[in-house]
Amino acid sequence: MLRSLSIKNFALIEQLQVSFDTGLITITGETGAGKSLLLGALGLLLGKRADLSSVKDNSVKCSIEGVFDIKKYDLESLFEEEDLDYEVETIIRREILPSGKSRAFINDTPVTLHSLNRLGLRLIDIHSQHQTLEVTTNDFQFDVLDALSESNREIQSYKRGLSLLKQKEKEEKVLLDSQQELTKEHDYNSFLLNELEEAKLKPGELSELEERYETLINIEEIQERLSGSVSLISSEEVGAGDLLNTIKTNISKVAPYSGTLKELSDRIQSVYIEIEDINDSLQNELERLEADPEQLEEVGQRLQMIHNLQTKHTVSSVEELIKIKEELQGKVSKTESLSGDIENVRREIETTKAQLDEVAIKIHKKRTKALPKLVSELEDILKSLGMVNASFKTSLTLQEKYLSNGKEVLEFLFSANKGGAFGELKKVASGGELSRIMIGIKAILSRYTQLPTIIFDEIDTGVSGEIAHKMADLMMAMSKNLQVFSITHLPQIAANGQSQYKVFKEDINNTTVTRLKLLNNEDRIREIAEMIGGKNISDSALTHAKSLLHYQK
């Protein structure tokens, strides 16, 4: 509920500080006195966009601050979502700077207009005649019905399930799109993969093949040069081995004569052993090598195949080809596994739908039970408000489509006259009728759910006499469960307020300002008498005013 309101430098309001209590609060005043300014200031406080033209003095900051008691509203989760400190007594402040820049604060924490609006919708509900069109919307009608049917737990469960269903359907679409895209490439990827798998590539293979190919293609020259080298080493006449052996023998004979000769003898011995070992290796390599045209052809073909694959895939090594093969394996495997993934998601979708259907049936049963009660209570209220022939024709029809709050279509038709044709509210109900329907619905809702503070802005226009008393009684009944403001021109409603405020204009130093005053008992008698009979207050008007206020002469 709204505990207090402070306004500075806004339109005709220079400075205003007012506190409010619980119950029904009535606000009266002449047309043009500035009642709409209060609503404008509250609108800014609740998140409407600011306009520098609404500032009284452009050189001074405009500020609007409201203190709210929010302990009954279960707003902890909203504060947590907005990363705000939750306080039972929450302060909202809006500022418009001389530069035109607007700032908003919740408990002294800067917030966006979106955050302010989210909270504002949960704190104050403003109703004027042009805003009663809300009652004609299907969403609002469902909200009212769900409050009476006490199906909030099922509705929340349904919404969680619907969110999951949409998530799974989105997953299915992504998988199907991927499958469609990958299927286009699947055959080609499979061909490329098969080609690489058949190649049986091995890391380091290319250099080995190239070396083998060079050996085979030059086998004759290699054999010739190996054979010549062996002859040069092992020839009995001038072979390098025999010559080195002779040198070794000569030096070994004189080696004992000095250390230098001994060292030279050892070195010659080492060289002789090495040349013999080289000769053996040359002999072995010569014996091993032989021309093999078939192997040459085979190695050449494999090299050509690898080079062709490198060209096709624009790489320069076998290792890169192996990496491409692994990537292709992943793509082909993913394409082939997508069918299984799609099937799994579709099973999850069907399970979610089955659970949603089960919850939707529970909601339907509760709504079906509550609908006649809503219609009956609303028709009774409207009869008391002078719409004696008002009646509703309603139906709830289950369908296959999943809607935001269930699987039903609600038909809420209205007729104001006996024997009249039923039609949609927005088409057949007048503005005055919509106002009474709205106040009737709010009165019903106030008994079943915790509503925010309600402000009725001249919603009683066109009402008089006994109907005005009935409307006042209705507002009084509502005010037992919530804070109700009524901006009114009707003395019957003004007199029923637990407290009454008057909006009026006053000229100070050649400047017109708007004031808001809490009326005492005597003030209320005169204000209501003036509402009854005009500026020239008669004794009968005073008597009537006192009777309305339950005073005795």
| pLDDT range class, residue 132, cuts 50, 70, 90 | low
In the chain, how many H helices and how many E strands? Answer: 17, 15
424 vs 479: CA distance, rounded Å: 30
Q: Give me the half-sphere count of Cα atoms (radius 13 Å) on the Cβ side of residue 411.
A: 9
- Residue at 9: amino acid letter: N
Percent of the chain with pLDDT over 70: 97
| pLDDT range class, residue 466, cuts 50, 70, 90 | confident
66 vs 23: CA distance, rounded Å: 18
CA 538 to chain centre: 63
pLDDT at 129: 62
Q: Give me the half-sphere count of Cα atoms (radius 13 Å) on the Cβ side of residue 58.
A: 5
Domain spanning 1-123+452-519: CATH superfamily: P-loop containing nucleotide triphosphate hydrolases (3.40.50.300)
pLDDT digits (tens, 9 = 90+) for 470-495: 889 999 999 998 999 999 989 999 99
Q: What is the DSSP string of 498-514?
A: SEEEEEEEEEETTEEEE
553 vs 550: CA distance, rounded Å: 10
**Would you say residue 183 has pLDDT above 90?**
no
| Owner of token pair 């307020």 | 497
pLDDT at 552: 34
Pick 272 or 46 by higher pLDDT.
46
pLDDT at 235: 67
**Would you say residue 553 has pLDDT above 50?**
no
pLDDT at 238: 63
pLDDT at 237: 63
Q: What is the DSSP string of 165-227?
A: HHHHHHHHHHHHHHHHHHHHHHHHHHHHHHHHHHHT--TTHHHHHHHHHHHHHTHHHHHHHHH
Domain boundaries, the chain: 1-123+452-519, 178-337
pLDDT digits (tens, 9 = 90+) for 2-20: 999 999 999 888 889 999 9
pLDDT at 483: 94
Pick 209 or 335 by higher pLDDT.
209
| pLDDT range class, residue 356, cuts 50, 70, 90 | very high
Tell me what the pLDDT averaged over the chain comes to: 87
pLDDT-wise least confident of 355-359, 413-417, 429-433, 543-547: 429-433
- Kindly tell me the sign of the dihedral angle through the C-alpha atoms of 273, 274, 277, 282: negative
**Would you say residue 503 has pLDDT above 60?**
yes
Task: Reduce the DSSP state of residue 6 to 3 states and report it.
Answer: strand
Name 489's Cβ contacts closer than 8 Å, sequence gap at least 6.
Answer: 28, 31, 458, 460, 461, 531
Pick 30 or 366 by higher pLDDT.
366
**Would you say residue 31 has pLDDT above 60?**
yes
Nearest CA among 369, 436, 412, 443 for reference residue 146: 369
DSSP 74: -
DSSP 73: S
pLDDT digits (tens, 9 = 90+) for 278-314: 888 888 877 777 767 777 788 788 888 888 888 888 8
pLDDT at 244: 77
Q: In this structure, what are the phi and psi dihedrals at residue 254, rounded to the nearest 5 degrees?
A: -105, 0
Pick 452 or 34 by higher pLDDT.
452
| pLDDT range class, residue 551, cuts 50, 70, 90 | very low
Pick 463 or 424 by higher pLDDT.
424
